[in-house]
Structure 1
Amino acid sequence: MKAKVQVVIESEHGQLIVHDVATITRTTFSTGTLGLSLSEGKNLLQHLQASIVNQQVSEWLRDTRDCPICGSPRSLKGHHSLVCQTVFGKVQLDSPRLRHCPCEKADHRSFSPLSKRLSERTTPELAYLEAKWASLMSYGLTVDILSEVLPLEGQINTTSIRRQVERVADRVEQAMGPEKGIYLEGMERDWGKLPRPEEPITVGIDGGFVRGRDGKSRGEGHFEVIAGKSIAENDSKCFAYVTRYDEKPKRRLYEVLKSQGMQMNQQVTFLSDGAENVRTLQYDLNPHAEYILDWFHITMRLTVMRQMAKGLPGEEDPKATEKALDHLKRIKWYLWHGNVYRALQAVEDLTWHLDCLEPGEAQAKLFKTVEDFERYIHSNQTNITNYGYRYRNGERISTGFVESTINQVVSKRFVKKQQMRWTERGAHLLLQVRTKVLNDQLRDTFEGWYPEMKEAA
């Protein structure tokens, strides 16, 4: 069997143009010869794409040859080649250079209409695919998978993929409004007139670390990434940024909340680990916001101190460990019920108990940890609530859902399996594309930039 594939193009003037695209030959019949092979399909698409693109360019150039003022044909100065990257392979185009008509007012004597029209040499759909897959896997694997299923062998590489991600992220960043100190909208007297809001929005924020490119060893050169998740009634969205690079962290979080329909009369609950850079991030975004110190981080610190207390020597006081554990139990109970005053008193009792013990390595380490814990509670005392009451009423008290977000947004792409070292800028820009993909917003973003993508879908 021999099958010829042709493309028949009908011009706007009704002329039929036929191009031979491929010839498929089959001499045997089996599962392996059934239909088109992957290589044949890629070859077919590449030749079909080239035929259609060249005809599009030819007709457009013919329509733009004449002067728009007097209608006289512009004279030809020369030709040069122009390469355009498409989903189905590179297409080399003939780009004529025309002289301006004497009746045209121009800064230059000649111009290339095709170069001016195709200012971007990568089609939107290819840019979308490159950015999407590069945010989900390494640049090398992105090159491999796109080259495997599309006719792009030898046409893309890790550098071009990385630059494409950065271009997309830069465009997303430029579209974001300027940073402000306060994001409260309207007047307080008007907030009560707003429609009744939906269920409260819960926002969890936490941090992680990414290995920096400038580190000289595995223990050096890490920088912090803040990531979080906002959960509305029927929607959840994540966000992330590099703390030392991002200049619009509060704007970033505000845009996420607005995309979920946040109103000024809607309750928003922020859960965080109490770090200084996180505390300042969540303020002045909503007048009905509630700020809660994450119970998980409190219990994590208490658990560490319990383990350290079990190592206290008992020569001088056989009940040293038992007393320390009892103090820690009281501290936890007071904090669980939101009694910060009594909790700090119990912490002070514990420090007195440790101070009376015989000095030693275990005692010194626990004493320092308890002092750090006291400062931690004191700094975040306004954000400590009655966790027991919230828990019994089915309200969130912990950022456990954010731990999974850190793993999904940061660890899977930057830390665990990808042994790359990152610049702060490179990591930040990739995070913006990755969160767009995880929030299922990247396609909508591209369709906003290129409406033709929505029409062709």
Structure 2
Amino acid sequence: MHSRITLEAIDPLGDKYCKEFMIEKDLDGLADGKLGCSIEDSKTIMKEVQKIFVERQLDPWVRYYRACPTCDGLLPIKDYNQRKILTVFGEIPVRFPRLVVCQKCHPACCSTFSPAADICKDRATPELLELSTKLGTKFSYREASDLLATFLPDQSARTFTTLRNRTLAIGKRIEEAERRQRWFEDLNYPDRTQFELALSDDPVGEYVFNVDTAHIPLVNRYGGRTFEAIVGHYGRGGRGDPLGPVFAFGGGTQPRELKAMAALALKRQGYADQGKMTVISDGAECFKRLAGMLPAL
């Protein structure tokens, strides 16, 4: 049995597009309950649909950049580049041109650029990276890779190391984004609109910083090195107050970064340069100077 699937679309420029593709389905397994589309059939269908969508999205994008913003002429095409983009519905080959700067407006400039080169710099869509990271954090990398290969096309050729590298890369990006936030976010405490009399033993005005360390020994069988893990928690002293943020970092963290992290967490808890602060730690050497790193009280 042959099935023809037709996809019709109208791009933002008003041009119509129509494309057909065939799906073959036999009746041999009908008596055994093999009814309807299988997972493999759905993979084939979604890969073809995904390929059409990618082509139709890139076409108006390239045509938009071909128009010179100065003279409205078309930029000449020097050559074409080809690459493959990994999506949740398969590996899609794309072909996009490399354009030359308008020679009429800039006769002395011979540089070229590709309008589609910045799309999916990781050679994979953000949706696929997010899905791989979620599964990679909940299951083992091998199990997560097998799960993706079961339901998504073109994933069986990827090894679990690919998923592991994606997960670790996204984790590094999150850590770097948090680090930049700690360095560049304004940590100046705002001025209070009115004077508040500090009351003794007022739990609402108390800030509690709990911190603990754990020593991770070296395992000779697997290699690696000995390191120290540090876990911290900020909260308020009042009963029933919402829980504060919890964070963790390595023992080699620089004091400046630890100070910025503490100040940012206190600001998020509502600290405005007033209040009582209690530090609870296990007496580790790296935290004996913690009180001096925190904002002046």
Q: TM-score, normalised by structure 1?
A: 0.51
Equivalent position of 2:10 in the other structure: 10
Distance 2:60 2:285 in 1: 61
Helix, strand or coil for the counterpart of 2:17?
A: strand
Q: Could you say if the C-alpha distance between residues 95 and 179 of structure 1 is closer, same or farther in structure 2, counting changes exceeding 3 Å?
A: closer
Structure 2 counterpart of 1:205, from 191, 208, 211 = 211
| Contact 1:241/1:249, CA 8 A, preserved across alignment | no
| Contact 2:213/2:284, CA 8 A, preserved across alignment | no
Equivalent position of 1:223 in the other structure: 227
Q: Which has the higher contact order (CA 8 A, sep 6+)?
A: 1
| Contact 1:208/1:226, CA 8 A, preserved across alignment | yes
Alignment of 1:65-214 (within 5 A): 65-102=66-103, 103-104=105-106, 108-116=110-118, 118-151=120-153, 152-155=155-158, 157-159=160-162, 160-162=165-167, 164-169=169-174, 171-178=176-183, 185=189, 192=196, 202-210=208-216
**Residue 242 (1) aligns with residue 244 (2):** no
Equivalent position of 1:37 in the other structure: 38
Could you say which structure has the higher strand fraction?
Answer: 2
Distance 2:188 2:285 in 1: 22
Q: Could you say if the C-alpha distance between residues 9 and 30 of structure 1 is closer, same or farther in structure 2, counting changes exceeding 3 Å?
A: farther
Instruction: Compute the displacement of 1:154 (Å).
Output: 2.1
| Contact 1:184/1:287, CA 8 A, preserved across alignment | no
Deviations 1:237-288 (A, max 9, x none): 3211111255612323443444444444455543221212134345554556
Equivalent position of 1:271 in the other structure: 280
Distance 2:271 2:90 in 1: 44
Q: Could you say if the C-alpha distance between residues 58 and 219 of structure 1 is closer, same or farther in structure 2, counting changes exceeding 3 Å?
A: closer
Instruction: Compute the displacement of 1:69 (Å).
Output: 1.3
Give, as a single letter, the amino acid of the residue that structure 2 aligns with 1:242.
G
Instruction: Compute the displacement of 1:216 (Å).
Output: 4.7
Distance 1:88 1:201 in 2: 49
| Contact 1:21/1:48, CA 8 A, preserved across alignment | no
| Contact 1:200/1:268, CA 8 A, preserved across alignment | yes
Helix, strand or coil for the counterpart of 1:273?
A: coil
| Contact 1:139/1:161, CA 8 A, preserved across alignment | no
Give, as a single letter, the amino acid of the residue that structure 1 aligns with 2:233.
K
Q: Could you say if the C-alpha distance between residues 9 and 157 of structure 1 is closer, same or farther in structure 2, counting changes exceeding 3 Å?
A: farther
Deviations 1:330-378 (A, max 9, x none): xxxxxxxxxxxxxxxxxxxxxxxxxxxxxxxxxxxxxxxxxxxxxxxxx
Distance 2:203 2:19 in 1: 60
Give, as a single letter, the amino acid of the residue that structure 1 aligns with 2:132.
E
Instruction: Compute the displacement of 1:121 (Å).
Output: 3.1
Q: Could you say if the C-alpha distance between residues 147 and 280 of structure 1 is closer, same or farther in structure 2, counting changes exceeding 3 Å?
A: farther
Distance 1:90 1:193 in 2: 65
Instruction: Compute the displacement of 1:179 (Å).
Output: 9.2
Distance 1:79 1:239 in 2: 48
Could you say which structure has the higher helix fraction?
Answer: 1
Instruction: Compute the displacement of 1:224 (Å).
Output: 0.5
Identity %: 24
Distance 1:179 1:279 in 2: 26
Instruction: Compute the displacement of 1:7 (Å).
Output: 2.8
Alignment of 1:253-292 (within 5 A): 253-265=262-274, 268-281=277-290, 283-285=292-294
Q: Could you say if the C-alpha distance between residues 234 and 57 of structure 1 is closer, same or farther in structure 2, counting changes exceeding 3 Å?
A: same
The two structures, once aligned, show a CA RMSD in angstroms of: 4.0
Deviations 1:27-82 (A, max 9, x none): 36689645543333333332222211111001111222222211222222111212
Q: Could you say if the C-alpha distance between residues 2 and 203 of structure 1 is closer, same or farther in structure 2, counting changes exceeding 3 Å?
A: farther
Q: Which 5+ residue runs of structure 1 have no aligned equivalent? A: 289-457
Q: Which 5+ residue runs of structure 2 have no aligned equivalent? A: none
Q: Could you say if the C-alpha distance between residues 35 and 87 of structure 1 is closer, same or farther in structure 2, counting changes exceeding 3 Å?
A: same
Q: Could you say if the C-alpha distance between residues 124 and 281 of structure 1 is closer, same or farther in structure 2, counting changes exceeding 3 Å?
A: farther
Q: Could you say if the C-alpha distance between residues 200 and 146 of structure 1 is closer, same or farther in structure 2, counting changes exceeding 3 Å?
A: farther
Distance 1:261 1:6 in 2: 58
Distance 1:239 1:176 in 2: 14
